[in-house]
Amino acid sequence: MGITIQDIYENDPRPTFLVDCQTESPTISHVNPALLAIPHIAQSLHAHDALRDWWDPESRIAAHHKTEFLHGWCRWTKFRIDHRWLVVTIVEQLIPTDDHQEDLQEPMKPKSSRIASPLLESRPDTIFTVKIQSPDLREHVERIRKVNWSRTSLGPISSWSYELHVLVSTLMLETRPAALFLGPEHTTLYNLAYGAVTGSRHPAILGQSIIDAWPELADPISATMARTEKTYFAASPEEEYHLMVERHGFVEEAFFMLSLVPLVGNVRGMYSMVTEVTKQRLLERRVDALLNVSQSISKARKIKDFWARIAQAIEPYEYDFPVAVLYSQCELLDPQDSNGALRGPLDRCTLEWTIGYRPDHPDMPQYLDLDSDFGLARAMTDSAKSGPALLFKEDDGVLPASLYKDLEKRAFGDPLRAFLVVPIWTYDDTIMGYLLVGLNTRQPYDDKYEDWIKSFSNLLGASAISVALHEEEIRNHSWQEEQAARDREALNAEVATLTKEAGDVAEKLRNFHDIADQVGLGYFEISIDGMMVDANETYFTQTGQRRDYGDGSPFAYKECVYEGDLEMVEKKWEILISGEPTTFEIRWKKAANKVHENGRVSDDFLWTLAACVPIKSPDGTVTGVFGCNTDITAQKEATQALLLRSEAERRLASFTELAPVGLFHLNPDLSMKYCNDQWFRITNHPKIPMDQVEWRSVVYEDQLEHCYREIEATRQRQGAHTFTCHLKKHWKGPDDISTPTWILVAATAYTDDSIMGTMTDISQLKWAEAIQKSRVEEALESKRQQENFIDMTSHEMRNPLSAMVQCADSISTSLSEINVLTRGPVLAEQPVLKTQLNDLTSTSLDAVDTIQACATHQKRIVDDILTLSKLDSKLLVISPIVLQPSMLLNDTYKMFKEEANKARIDLQVKCDASIEDLQIDWAILDPSRVLQVLINLLTNAIKFTQDQDERRVEVIMGASLDIEMMSDIEYLPQEAMRRDFLLGPEWDGAGEVFYLSFTVRDTGCGLSPEHKAKLFHRFSQATPKTHVQYGGSGLGLFISRELTEMQGGTIGVSSSQNVGSTFCFCVKSRRAKPPPSLTLSHPPLNSGSSSTLTPNPPHTHNPNESDAAETAPRGEENDSASKSAEPPPIYHILIVEDNLINQRVLSASLRKLGHTIHVANHGVEALEHLSRTVFSLSPPPQPLPLTAILMDMEMPIMDGLTATRRIREMEDKGELRGHIPIIAVSANARREQVEEARLAGVDGVVCKPCRVGEVLGMVGRVALLGVGDKGGEL
């Protein structure tokens, strides 16, 4: 039928295009008419990157592997034909909504132009019409637009053809350097990257002909164009061009690879791609220079040849070595003078050669002294300190200006810009020479240039070392040959000398024989088999051996040896034949009854001292024995006599050696004259001769001064003196613990200042003393631990007591409200119910009072036990401060006023006239301890008075300069001496001492004389019925007595049964000035003042110890309520408490009084709550107000102390606004614990158990004192 596949493809109604997959970059090769009929789809093929990424075979995205793709409201599919063609077609056209119809009718603008294809029949935007994002490209296109193209054959831009616009757009988007040379005059047009390559010619060459823009390229481009006119597709290989480009402020040589491709189509011209290969060519040229230098200088064997070959190697490389100068520095010494060392002078250099300068250049002398501080000398000297090479420029002023300009024509013919001075080093850090090199005038001195110079320097140095070593080896070889000749001559002379010396030795040997015989020295030589080889006459005389030894038997000398020494002689012979010398004494037999020279009969043997050495062959084998004998018989007899004389001394010394103590005798200069063995055993001193004994070495250095003092005391006494010290020697006790050895020294000095004494080891006694001391300390520690247990028990008892007290307060408040309700009109018509309710509330109020009384009673017992434990452990201290004594009476009155009113007791508090007479105002004392005594006495007074007909209690304060004893009071004697608590350095400037006295008088039941005798004792009460009827622990008066005596005072009592009792105590004090921080003072009380005392004195003292809770005024909430008719303030309080019972009870009580309460279980929750309050720097829209924080101390996760420190730290850093009032509410009542809380940053302390009124009083006090005032504690 004549229908081809192409006809089928062209007439296929499905929009389709073909992709050629065998091209370098897969492109769309054909689009069928069905697809061209949809303009907006056809034009978007090049603009839609996602579509291309889907069909492109080289794409790496995940969507590439899908067979279908949605684009332009069409579903596309693709399939491969053979390995070359990819067919992409539309299988379904979706119906768009009305909102998208307008978008489909408006063709999309392509983002880029990948190829020129038939799809772009409706001309899209060009590079001159689209919005360009890159500022640099936009600026470059604007330059092109401003060129007057109408003067060229191309004409104005508006007249350019579509194909030219495509070419220009493609060129502008190309990131590699590329250019177009268009028209007959080859007009230049290039992209932004090409402009960077052209250097300073850019942008002037835009729109110019190739001859004007690149004269260097005019010929090759013209030749290529000529070839294209003959053959349409002419081969145009890539060629390299060496061009000069002005970049970086100077003309720079550059290498480029240019490809000139003729344009195909209606546009005439060339498309040029440019690749700069300057770095590669420079690297190749420099590496080639290094190889050439290396090959040349490797053939050098002498230094002179080495210098010459350097010049031959670098001269051809005129671009990198436009000039070069070499100065050598060292010469070689003559071989006979030294072993190859280098000769100087090292401060002088010689010119070897120059390149690029005329031979007679004035600034390059033949010889150069390096001592000069300018010119070439300075440059060389500085380079020797700087490393491989040192750079000098003309404006440095170091090198003469003529070196930069007065040159022979080489390379580019430019004046030099910089010099490099390269020192040439050898193996021993000696500089052999200096090479001066001019830098390439058309290359920057960058890191690669510098690295090449370093390599060049290292190459010269390594080669110089090789040449120097080779030349040195030649010199050494010549010197060694000459030295060998000299050695032969010296050896011949030495042989002659030795021959002469051998004759002299033989003569000396004969003389030695004669001398040996004359002095009685017998010498002998015996072979290894025991045969006598040689001996002199004296030997035969001493030993009695026969002189015909040549015919004798082996070891014939043994017949003459005394029988008792034969075994010893045989052992010595074994030692000698083993190769070791030996010396020994030997006895020889002699004729019986031989008369000695002194006329007495001698023993039957002769003593000699034999010194023998083995005779060895050259291979070390023993061949014989040589020795000599010396007659020592006379010395032996003298020694025997000396032994007999010393026997007496030995017997005398035996006693001292057996003595159980160490005996010693010191010379006047304290050197050791004598000491026995026991002394050595005690001191562990090495047993050495007495004149070497150093007794100071066994004594610890810190004990020497003590020993010297005791020795001086011994000399001054001139009699017996004893003292102790410890030695360096360690003594191990029964408990295996090592301690220094203790000694007891008894010494006596004599008139010559020598000292004799004994030394006894008393370490066992000292150990026993230490054991006893340790057991005492253990007992004390056990007692302290017991007291700590009491502290813990007190802490655990205070927590539930606090809940009890607060619950009782809450119940009391609720019952009071019920009473108010019963008086209202609601129950007026129900009298029976009202009466019943009144009876119930009255009974309940009585029960509440009982609970409060029991809790107060239990608290006092806990406080007494805690105080007693600290007294027993010696941990209770007196802490005086400056205050007004009258305030103590105010506090006392406030604390007991309510209790006295309930018991219907007339409580009077007054000052004696002595207060006014002595003008007592400010004083130094511990208010908490004084108040503790007053509390104990007043508690007893109220307890024993409340059931009497007449109920009256008086408290009177007086003063005196000395302790005044009242006549009717029986005072207790002081049990022990107490430290004066007012002697601290902080009270040095205080006033005179006086005594404050306090009298507590009641009308109670009184005491009989028998009962008074039991008072003031631990756990003691007047009668057994006292505990049953009144309760108590029997500790209050005992503690009061201890506290009074600790404060320098005393306590006493006067009592009559059924009449009443009077307790009186006094404490020591000193006058003081008012503290500067307190401007408000309390006036002294007038004599006789009673319950009209000021109820609220200024708060000036913060008691910080175990009894702090007792100093809180009782019934404070009632007093405050009675002060003013104004409604109480409402507080916003955060309770931080881990005990859920205490937390719930306290928060309920406070909420009942109208306060806003928030709770936190530990410190972390408290910090989180602060971020929501007004104190936070970034509070929520409605921040929570906060008046104060009630902080418990013992909590999990974050305790109260840590939380308080963290809050203060955040305040200091500005992370919180202002100062947050914090009150510690804790059962830790000891002074140290209260002080630790204060140091952590709390504003007040309330010790448990505490009542709600006390807590609110502290909150109000902190608020009144102002933010930041570290207020008081309860």
Dist CA 1207 CA 1212 (whole Å): 9
Note whether 422 and 457 are within 8 A (CB): yes
Clarify whether residues 1010 and 959 are in a common domain. Answer: yes
pLDDT at 47 exceeding the cut of 70: no
Strand partners, 1061: 1002, 1055
Clarify whether residues 366 and 267 are in a common domain. Answer: no
Per-residue confidence at 121, pLDDT binned at 50, 70, 90?
Answer: very low
Clarify whether residues 621 and 664 are in a common domain. Answer: no
Q: List the single range of 48-57, 446-455, 614-623, 1098-1107 with lowest mean pLDDT.
A: 1098-1107
In-domain check, residue 952:
yes
pLDDT at 1096 exceeding the cut of 60: no
Q: How far is CA 330 from CA 309, 363, 373, 386, 466, in A?
A: 18, 21, 20, 20, 16
Taking alpha carbons only, the member of 144, 145, 164 closest to residue 154 is: 164
Higher pLDDT, 1168 or 201: 1168
Q: What is the pLDDT of residues 345-389, one digit of tens each?
A: 467 899 999 998 988 888 888 888 888 777 888 888 888 887 788
The predicted model gives 1038-1043 an average pLDDT of 84
Note whether 1065 and 982 are within 8 A (CB): no
Note whether 137 and 69 are within 8 A (CB): no
Q: What is the pLDDT of residues 464-504, one digit of tens each?
A: 888 878 777 887 887 888 888 888 888 888 888 887 877 77
The predicted model gives 825-853 an average pLDDT of 74
Strand partners, 486: none
pLDDT at 1111 exceeding the cut of 50: no
Decide: helix, strand or coil at residue 1208: helix
The predicted model gives 1040-1045 an average pLDDT of 86
Clarify whether residues 206 and 288 are in a common domain. Answer: no
Dist CA 1012 CA 1001 (whole Å): 15
- Top mean pLDDT of 30-39, 60-69, 261-270, 522-531 is at 522-531
Higher pLDDT, 838 or 921: 921
Q: What is the pLDDT of residue 1031?
A: 44
Q: How many domains does the chain have?
A: 7
Dist CA 553 CA 550 (whole Å): 9
pLDDT at 268 exceeding the cut of 80: yes
Clarify whether residues 244 and 336 are in a common domain. Answer: no
Clarify whether residues 294 and 263 are in a common domain. Answer: no
CATH of residue 720's domain is: 3.30.450.20
Dist CA 943 CA 1031 (whole Å): 9
CATH of residue 941's domain is: 3.30.565.10
Is the bond preceding 1185 in cis, omega lying within 30 degrees of 0?
A: no
In-domain check, residue 506:
no
The packing angle between helices 1252-1265 and 1116-1123, to 10°, is: 60
Give buried/exposed letters for 9-24 (b at 16+ CB in 10 A, else e): eeeeeebbbbbebeee
- HEC readout, 1047-1072: CCCEEEEEEECCCEEEEEEEEEEEEC
Q: What is the pLDDT of residue 346?
A: 62
- Top mean pLDDT of 383-387, 401-405, 623-627, 1057-1061 is at 623-627
The residue with tokens 């830790």 is 1228
Q: What is the pLDDT of residue 1163?
A: 92
Q: Between vectors from CA 170 to CA 258 and to CA 84, what angle results, nearest 5°?
A: 90
Which amino acid is residue 539, in one-letter code? Answer: Y
* Greatest distance between any 2 Cα atoms in the chain: 169
Q: What is the pLDDT of residues 204-219, one digit of tens each?
A: 889 888 888 888 777 7
Choosing from 224, 245, 276, the residue where a domain stops is 276
Torsion of CA 783, 784, 785, 788, to 10 degrees: 130
Clarify whether residues 113 and 70 are in a common domain. Answer: yes
DSSP for 724-738 reads EEEEEEEEE-TTS-E
Dist CA 25 CA 1154 (whole Å): 86
Per-residue confidence at 881, pLDDT binned at 50, 70, 90?
Answer: confident
User: Distance from first CA to last CA of the chain, Å, rounded?
Assistant: 120
Choosing from 480, 505, 532, the residue where a domain stops is 480
In-domain check, residue 1108:
no
Taking alpha carbons only, the member of 1117, 1069, 819, 829 closest to residue 957 is: 1069
Q: What is the pLDDT of residue 1209?
A: 92
Clarify whether residues 1095 and 1122 are in a common domain. Answer: no
Dist CA 686 CA 665 (whole Å): 17
In-domain check, residue 515:
no
Dist CA 74 CA 93 (whole Å): 4
Note whether 416 and 407 are within 8 A (CB): yes
pLDDT at 332 exceeding the cut of 80: no
Which amino acid is residue 1094, in one-letter code? Answer: T
Tokens standing for 293? Answer: 């230098």
Q: List the single range of 592-596, 757-761, 808-812, 1003-1007 with lowest mean pLDDT.
A: 592-596
pLDDT at 683 exceeding the cut of 70: yes
How large a percentage of the chain has pLDDT more than 90?
14
Clarify whether residues 265 and 294 are in a common domain. Answer: no
Question: Could you tell me the pTM of the whole model?
Answer: 0.35
In-domain check, residue 607:
yes
Per-residue confidence at 1156, pLDDT binned at 50, 70, 90?
Answer: very high
Q: What are phi and psi of 209, to 5 degrees?
A: -75, 160
The predicted model gives 984-1010 an average pLDDT of 84
Which amino acid is residue 1139, in one-letter code? Answer: N
Q: What is the CA radius of gyration of the chain?
A: 61
Clarify whether residues 623 and 705 are in a common domain. Answer: no
pLDDT at 1098 exceeding the cut of 50: no
Q: What is the pLDDT of residue 814?
A: 79
Clarify whether residues 1000 and 1060 are in a common domain. Answer: yes
Q: How far is CA 319 from the centre of its chain?
A: 57
Dist CA 504 CA 512 (whole Å): 12
Clarify whether residues 253 and 390 are in a common domain. Answer: no
Q: What is the pLDDT of residue 716?
A: 86
CATH of residue 1233's domain is: 3.40.50.2300
Is the bond preceding 1180 in cis, omega lying within 30 degrees of 0?
A: no
DSSP for 513-533 reads HHHHHHHTEEEEEEETTS-EE
pLDDT at 1114 exceeding the cut of 60: no
Q: What is the pLDDT of residue 806?
A: 72
Give buried/exposed letters for 627-648 (b at 16+ CB in 10 A, else e): bbbbbbbeebbeeeeeeeeeee
pLDDT at 1 exceeding the cut of 70: no
When the pLDDT of each residue in the chain is averaged and rounded to a whole number, the result is 79
Q: Between vectors from CA 903 to CA 901 and to CA 908, what angle results, nearest 5°?
A: 55
Q: What are phi and psi of 234, to 5 degrees?
A: -80, 140
pLDDT at 109 exceeding the cut of 50: no
pLDDT at 1223 exceeding the cut of 90: yes
Q: What is the pLDDT of residues 398-419, one digit of tens each?
A: 888 888 888 888 888 888 889 9
CATH of residue 328's domain is: 3.30.450.40
Choosing from 119, 149, 166, the residue where a domain stops is 119
Q: How far is CA 593 from CA 586, 587, 603, in A?
A: 20, 16, 8
DSSP for 657-713 reads HH-SSEEEEE-TTS-EEEE-HHHHHHHT-----GGG--GGGGB-HHHHHHHHHHHHH
Residue 718 Rama label (left phi>0; alpha psi -120 to 50; beta): left
Give buried/exposed letters for 296-334 (b at 16+ CB in 10 A, else e): bbeebeebeebbbbbbebbeebbbbbbbbbbbbbbebee
Per-residue confidence at 1018, pLDDT binned at 50, 70, 90?
Answer: low
In-domain check, residue 1085:
yes
Decide: helix, strand or coil at residue 920: coil
Quote the domain boundaries for residue 1180.
Answer: 783-844+1118-1265
* CA within 13 Å, CB half, 103: 8
Q: What is the pLDDT of residues 277-286, one digit of tens each?
A: 888 888 988 8
Note whether 787 and 865 are within 8 A (CB): no
Q: What is the pLDDT of residues 287-297, one digit of tens each?
A: 998 899 888 88
Neighbours of 432 (CB within 10 A): 21
β-pair type (738-749, 881-883): unpaired
pLDDT at 1100 exceeding the cut of 70: no
Q: What is the pLDDT of residue 1190?
A: 93
Contacts of 838 (CB under 8 A, 6+ apart): 819, 822
pLDDT at 1204 exceeding the cut of 70: yes
The continuous run of DSSP H or E covering 644 comes out as helix 633-658
Dist CA 1007 CA 1054 (whole Å): 9
Higher pLDDT, 802 or 699: 699
Per-residue confidence at 966, pLDDT binned at 50, 70, 90?
Answer: confident
The predicted model gives 598-602 an average pLDDT of 45
- 756 burial level (CB within 10 Å; 0-12, 13-18, 19+): middle
DSSP for 810-860 reads HHHHHHHHHHHHHTSGGGTT-HHHHHHHHHHHHHHHHHHHHHHHHHHHHHH
pLDDT at 871 exceeding the cut of 60: yes
Note whether 91 and 78 are within 8 A (CB): no
In-domain check, residue 869:
no
Q: What is the pLDDT of residue 1159?
A: 93
Note whether 145 and 168 are within 8 A (CB): no
Per-residue confidence at 772, pLDDT binned at 50, 70, 90?
Answer: confident
pLDDT at 977 exceeding the cut of 90: no
β-pair type (16-20, 27-31): antiparallel
Q: List the single range of 210-214, 306-310, 742-746, 1000-1004 with lowest mean pLDDT.
A: 210-214
Neighbours of 536 (CB within 10 A): 17
pLDDT at 639 exceeding the cut of 70: yes
pLDDT at 86 exceeding the cut of 70: yes
Per-residue confidence at 1000, pLDDT binned at 50, 70, 90?
Answer: very high
In-domain check, residue 868:
no
Q: How far is CA 1133 from CA 201, 208, 546, 720, in A?
A: 82, 89, 128, 80
